[in-house]
Amino acid sequence: MRITVNEIKEKKLKNERIAMLTAYDCSTAKIVDEAGVPLILVGDSLGMVLLGYESTIPVTMDEMIHHTKAVVRGTEKALIIGDMPFMTYHTSISDALRNAARFIQEGGAQAVKLEGGVVVAETVKRIVDCGIPVMGHIGLTPQSVHQLGGHRVQGKTPEAAERLLADARALEQAGTFAIVLELVPAPLSKLITQKASIPTIGIGAGPDCDGQVQVISDLLGLFADFVPKHAKQYAKLAGTIRTAIGDYIAEVKSGSFPTAEHSSTMDESLLEELARS
């Protein structure tokens, strides 16, 4: 049985911190699920992590559905959240409903995530009213990175902080089951968390949120050239993988791989008959 949105909300009442990770493929999702992570986000960050885009903006619905299906196939317990990509919920509520439904019907996800606060609250309410759980996302919203002037901490002025409080309130009233706070000052995140009756999930938002989310490649150290300030590398797999590949190349060149251990045999008499023919 998969964890439910009600169980996620109950974790806040029990003061139980929530660990959330991204995953984009079946094999990685299986490991994350088996490790006990209750929330897996199929983030549009896959555009940069897997597809080589410069931002999340070029990611399409078809790409998101493709990867969501793979993650769902690899998991049994975690609640899977599909990240609705750029402009798939902005033009009309009907578009938003249709695309949210695709994540559930085609992708197999149990919830979707939208960026924005007050401006998307009506859309969020309609999606929730149709029976699709929604996770909110405020603070730095990567799909609006051009408007925000880059990847900057949000809510540092009184006016900006008040807007984020209003955004969180609007999303809660619209029916979201949790809200991601990205690059929000820790004291403001703490205040939003105290005021909200639903869980907050922080990324670069300090230690006082109800949970934390990290991009799996950051956590595993798959990219050695850049580590975001808010990320912690629990492993440094880029170097390990590079070394393993180097060892493989060396053994292929030397002829020490493969050996009989990695090969199959056959009846030698059959081989003799083939040689005579």
Considering the entire predicted model, what is its pTM?
A: 0.94
Say what the pLDDT of residue 228 is: 84
Which burial class, exposed, middle or buried, applies to 4 when counting CB atoms under 10 A from its CB (0-12, 13-18, 19+)? middle
Query: How confident is residue 151, by pLDDT bands cut at 50, 70 and 90?
Result: low
User: What residue type is assigned to position 263 of the chain?
Assistant: S
Q: Give the pLDDT confidence score for residue 203 in this predicted structure.
A: 97
Distance CA 60, CA 251 (A): 41
With residue 11 as reference, give the H or E element that holds it: helix 5-13
Query: Residue 224: pLDDT band by 50, 70, 90 thresholds?
Result: confident
| pLDDT top residue among 145 and 216 | 216
If you average pLDDT over residues 67-87, what whole number do you get? 98
Q: Is the pLDDT of residue 272 over 90?
A: no
**Average pLDDT score over the chain:** 95
SS3 76: coil
pLDDT of residue 9: 98
What distance in Å separates the CA atoms of residue 115 and residue 259, rounded to the nearest whole number?
A: 53
Cα distance between residue 50 and residue 231, in whole Å: 18
The stretch 5-31 carries a mean pLDDT of 98
Instruction: Give me the pLDDT at residue 57, please.
Output: 94
pLDDT of 146 over the 70 cut: no
Q: Higher model confidence: residue 154 or residue 255? A: 255
User: What average pLDDT does range 263-273 have in this prediction?
Assistant: 87
Residue 182 known to be catalytic:
yes
CA-based nearest residue to 198, from 233, 229, 168, 241: 168
- 149 pLDDT band, cuts 50/70/90, is low
Are residues 67 and 24 in contact, defined by beta-carbon separation less than 8 angstroms?
A: yes
Determine which one of 10, 34, 182, 272 is catalytic. 182
* Fold of domain 5-235: TIM Barrel (3.20.20)
Confidence of residue 86 (pLDDT cuts 50, 70, 90): very high
For residue 261, the number of C-alpha atoms closer than 13 Å in the C-beta half-sphere is 4
Q: Is the pLDDT of residue 77 over 60?
A: yes
* Mean pLDDT, residues 224-233 taken together: 85
Residues comprising the chain, all counted: 277
Q: What is the pLDDT of residue 145?
A: 63
Which residues make up the CATH 3.20.20.60 domain(s) of the chain?
5-235
Helices (H) and strands (E) in the chain, counts: 12, 8
Give the per-residue pLDDT at 154: 86
pLDDT surpassing 60 at residue 148:
no
* pLDDT tops 70 at residue 55: yes
pLDDT mean over 6-18: 98
